[in-house]
Amino acid sequence: MSCAFTLDHYGELLEAASAGGYRFATFDAPPGPGDLLLRHDVDLSLDAALRMAELEAEAGAIATYFLMTESVFYNLASPEGTEALARLWELGHRVGLHAVYPNAVLDERFDPVVAWHNPDPGYMTAPIDDAVNVMQRGWFDPATYRSDSNQHWRSGCPHEELRAGAFPLLQLLTHPEIWVYEGATMGETMRTMLDAERERRLAQLVEDRIDLT
Ligand SMILES: [Zn+2]
Ligand SMILES: [Zn+2]
């Protein structure tokens, strides 16, 4: 099995987790033995999030999507954002806030759970009033955490350990853009995403009655 950052291999990770006996858990309560917390920080693309969410739903997996209200790259308050939220709920997923410090303003769109975007060590694991911080004690431990940051697993792709049931429990952070868009490196993947974005933007311009002739 090749460990490419593709939706196919993400599907294989989910299969491996099921084979390893893991239960798809959410952040409502601290994780217990056998729990797999699928966490997605959505930094760049709602389209990518939805594609991953559809695949998970088909695989019977439940994930928590952390969406931004202050993203440079997408607008959660736009029709596109509202539709994305509705579809995530419809698929059975949870939605938390991917917050930019210090603004953890939760409204009715979010479960009371926060993941800081690019956190500094000073507040990364600190508890938050009235919400769970995904990195706080009880929910996070470096030994039971894996992340695909910048298209790189620091401790290797976890699919074999998942299949073997080797983690007592796991918080698995993945960024949908990395898996949905092709590229052997983060740089290539980002360029693929921007090419797709250009086509999407052109279609939006036409829809907005801009004459592109
Ligand atoms: Zn793998
Ligand atoms: Zn982020």
Calculate mean pLDDT across residues 145-169: 96
Whether 2 has a pLDDT exceeding 90, the answer reads: no
The Cα–Cα gap between 13 and 160 comes to 9
pTM of the predicted model as reported, rounded to 2 decimal places: 0.97
Percentage of the chain surpassing pLDDT 70? 100
Tens of pLDDT, residues 179-205? 999 999 999 999 999 999 999 999 999
The pLDDT value given to residue 192: 98
Residues with CB under 5 A from ligand 2 (ion): 41, 43, 117
Q: How many CB atoms lie within 10 A of CB 1?
A: 10
DSSP letter for each residue of 54-79: HHHHHTT---EEEE-SS-SS--TTSH
Q: Which ligand is nearest to the CA of 73?
A: 2
Ligand 2 centroid – CA 115 distance (Å):
8
Q: Grade residue 1 by pLDDT with cuts at 50, 70 and 90.
A: low
Task: Answer whether residue 162 shows pLDDT above 70.
Answer: yes
pLDDT confidence of residue 50? 98
Phi then psi for residue 58, to 5 deg, are: -65, -30
**Tokens 């080797």 appear where?**
166
- Give 69-94 pLDDT, tens digit per residue: 999 999 999 999 999 999 999 999 99
Average pLDDT over residues 103-108: 95
41 CA to middle of ligand 1, Å?
20
Which ligand is closest in space to the CA of residue 157?
A: 1
CA of 147 to the centre of ligand 2 (A): 12
The CA 157 to ligand 1 mean position distance, Å, reads 5
**Contact indicator for 138, 28 with CB cutoff of 8 Å:** no
Report which bound ligand comes closest to the CA of 134. Answer: 2
Distance 136 CA to ligand 2 centre (A): 17
> Phi, psi (5° rounding) for residue 86?
-60, -40
- Separation CA 76–CA 43 (nearest Å): 12
206 CA from centroid of ligand 1 (Å): 41
Q: Please give the average per-residue pLDDT across 65-72, as a whole number.
A: 97
Of the listed ligands, the closest to the CA of 68 is: 2
- Mean pLDDT value across residues 90-117: 97
pLDDT in tens, 28-55: 999 999 999 999 999 999 999 999 999 9
Ligand that lies nearest to the alpha carbon of residue 175, given by its number in the listed order:
2
